[in-house]
A = this chain, B = another copy of it.
């Protein structure tokens, strides 16, 4: 019963209420101030990310900090190309509404981070990945979400950019071809805080009732 280590913390109602606030005020941020993160902050957030669960303790997460202006420009160009293609698939009112959305803060965000999953890792000896190899990718998502929450608790916003061609991003960033892009992230201080998603405020989509997502068997 864990007699040798530190005592297990007890999380009280006050903490749980603040944790609930954190879930409610975490946003996908696309509007950043230009000021940089404090030195060491990004590395600290990545350290928290690595506390995420991973299938078989495989730790398949690979964090690529993108500082090179040329590579950043390549990512921005890829986003703009993919975004133009996406916009072209909407018609009528939806097309105009899509065009009005701000879907990434790649130009303003002081920090760019690409996160990959290495399904080929031998760490963890393949445990838990035999019938569901995608578990490696899911492990990386839990790491990302850990740092996203920790960032918000520091007043730092993260934005997840998925309007990208993953194969092109791997080339632009010169990473092994078998790494899978899980997400490309902007980090920085947000221009504003909010407790509702920007897409909801923009009228793109609405939150659905929780009961609609629960099924019983």
Contacts and interface: CB of A to CB of B under 8 A. Distances in A.
B103 A128 contact: yes
Interface in A45-91: 46-48, 50-53, 55-59, 61-68, 71, 82, 85-86, 89-90
A62 B152 CA distance: 26
Interface string A144-173: 011011101111000010111110000001
Contacts of A150: 16, 19-20, 23
B194 A2 contact: yes
Interface of A: 1-2, 5-6, 8-11, 15-16, 18-26, 28, 43, 46-48, 50-53, 55-59, 61-68, 71, 82, 85-86, 89-90, 94, 98, 101, 103, 123-132, 134-135, 137-138, 141-142, 145-146, 148-150, 152-155, 160, 162-166, 173-175, 181-183, 191-197, 199-200, 204-208, 210, 213-217
